[in-house]
Amino acid sequence: MRRKTHYPLSMAFLLAWLLIAPSPLLLCGALQAQSRDTTLGIEADRAAAQDDTNRALDLYAKALASKPDWTEGWWKYGDLLYQARRFQEAAQAFGRLTRLAPNNSLGFALLGLCEYELADWNNATLHLNKALNRGGLPPDISRFAAYHLGLALLRQRNQGGALLTFKLLFHQDPDYPGLGLVLGTAELSLEQPPVATAATFPAAQIAGNAALAILSARSADAEKSYRDLVVQFPNQASAHLSFGLFLESQHRDDEAAKEFTAETKVNPTSAVPWLWLARVAIAQQNPEAARSYAAHARELDPKDPLSLLIEGRSFMLEHRWEQALIPLRAAEDAVPQSSEVHYALASVYSALHRGQEADKERQLFLQAQSADGPEEDARR
């Protein structure tokens, strides 16, 4: 059974804001006038005010059948359905709403929240992300949507995306309820926040404390939490990886490599620690070790193009430009939007005195760089 998530904000609050707040998101007084002009709508409003939910739902359904473009009616109908935990029907109502008001970010937020309740992680991610990207949401609703977007990303095993989402939420509200636990959940690559009785709960709490300390610029506290994590839970997947990433960000490469090596033993099927070992080897000007680690990562995850980029960079360290082109071109085919790959290719073509191709890669680099987000995937 799917664990019920504690919500810091209720749907009732969302709809209360929707119906009373002056905002460009609303279609303003014209929509309210539609409601007053509709006898069934007036009766449905009265039934809802009297907590006669079944009668109100029946009346709203009839009113909407006769006037399917009644936008405010879809808001109210969807709200009652959500409160009655009839999430499938609520999602259909809010879906109809987004077609009537496609520029209204709040409609997509409500649709995504319904889909989250239905465990429709793909569509919940799509619509919550669309709502947040369009902007214009009140701060409380924006935070509520971001929190659930992060949870949906965890369910899709996109821990890096979830971690980035929760970090952005921290910058909006560092005291958001439950934020530390979900940050720890993402750090440890878990699919959902563990319940208090789960074996992984204390590990997620410690990892969350470390993440909060990093975001608060308290490096010493973060390091203490990470050391506690790997001492108390040495066999927890992603614990050594998270500590290694922290150490690598501090330019403590030897210590980071030690933690990445420990992660390869705890989590032998993951390519990620091998990729980080390869990156450390590149930073330490050790091309042979970098190629070895990258090859091991590719055996575990042949579809990950990062191993190809690292192999290409290892040849660049040795000025073996022609050999570098082979993996770098393969990496470009796999991830044509990667600014890092285009930069490497521009450098190689310049070294080979192939100016036209170097210029093309520089342009692609600038285009890709302008499209990059504020932070890279937290697992990379």
* CATH number attached to the domain at 9-17+29-128: 1.25.40.10
Report which DSSP code applies to 9: S
Q: How far apart are CA 116 and CA 163, in angstroms?
A: 18
Closest CA to 167 of 180, 152, 157, 156: 180
Average pLDDT over residues 73-96: 93
Q: How far apart are CA 171 and CA 96, in angstroms?
A: 33
Give the chain's mean pLDDT.
Answer: 89
Query: Is a pLDDT exceeding 70 seen at residue 10?
Result: no
Contact 326, 304 (CB under 8 A): no
What's the whole-model pTM score?
A: 0.82
Q: What pLDDT score does 372 carry?
A: 60
Q: How far apart are CA 345 and CA 312, in angstroms?
A: 9
Contact 109, 128 (CB under 8 A): yes
Comparison of pLDDT for 289 and 4, the residue scoring more: 289
Q: What pLDDT score does 198 carry?
A: 97
Q: How far apart are CA 362 and CA 81, in angstroms?
A: 53
> Encoding tokens for residue 316?
């660049």
Query: Is a pLDDT exceeding 90 seen at residue 7?
Result: no
Least confident of 60-74, 185-199, 319-333: 60-74
Closest CA to 177 of 9, 29, 36: 9
Which residue ranges does the chain devote to CATH 1.25.40.10? Answer: 9-17+29-128, 292-380
Closest CA to 185 of 149, 148, 159: 159
Contact 113, 95 (CB under 8 A): no
Contact 275, 294 (CB under 8 A): yes
Q: How far apart are CA 327 and CA 332, in angstroms?
A: 9
Query: Is a pLDDT exceeding 70 seen at residue 285?
Result: yes
* 305-321 residues labelled b (16+ CB within 10 A) or e (exposed): bbbbbbbbbbbbeeeeb
Average pLDDT over residues 311-315: 98
Q: Which of 74-83, 137-146, 183-192 holds the top average pLDDT?
A: 183-192
Query: Is a pLDDT exceeding 60 seen at residue 187?
Result: yes
Closest CA to 314 of 273, 284, 356: 284
Q: How far apart are CA 147 and CA 337, in angstroms?
A: 28
> Encoding tokens for residue 15?
């709809």
**Token match 């204390």: residue?**
202
pLDDT digits (tens, 9 = 90+) for 214-236: 999 999 999 999 999 999 999 99
Residues in Cβ contact with 281 at an 8 Å cutoff, skipping those fewer than 6 apart? 287, 289, 290, 293, 314
Q: 293 burial class (0-12, 13-18, 19+ CB within 10 angstroms)?
A: buried
Q: How far apart are CA 103 and CA 355, in angstroms?
A: 45
Residues in Cβ contact with 375 at an 8 Å cutoff, skipping those fewer than 6 apart? 164, 167
Closest CA to 98 of 107, 109, 110: 107
Contact 74, 64 (CB under 8 A): yes
The pLDDT confidence band at residue 48, using thresholds 50, 70 and 90, is confident
What's the CATH class of domain 292-380? mainly alpha
Comparison of pLDDT for 268 and 42, the residue scoring more: 268
Contact 322, 338 (CB under 8 A): no
CA angle (105, 377, 345) in 5-degree steps: 115
CA dihedral of 69, 71, 73, 77, whole degrees rounded to 10: 100
Q: What pLDDT score does 135 carry?
A: 87
Q: What pLDDT score does 299 carry?
A: 97
Closest CA to 32 of 15, 20, 47, 14: 20
Query: Is a pLDDT exceeding 90 seen at residue 377?
Result: no
Comparison of pLDDT for 27 and 91, the residue scoring more: 91
> Encoding tokens for residue 269?
């099927």
The pLDDT confidence band at residue 38, using thresholds 50, 70 and 90, is low
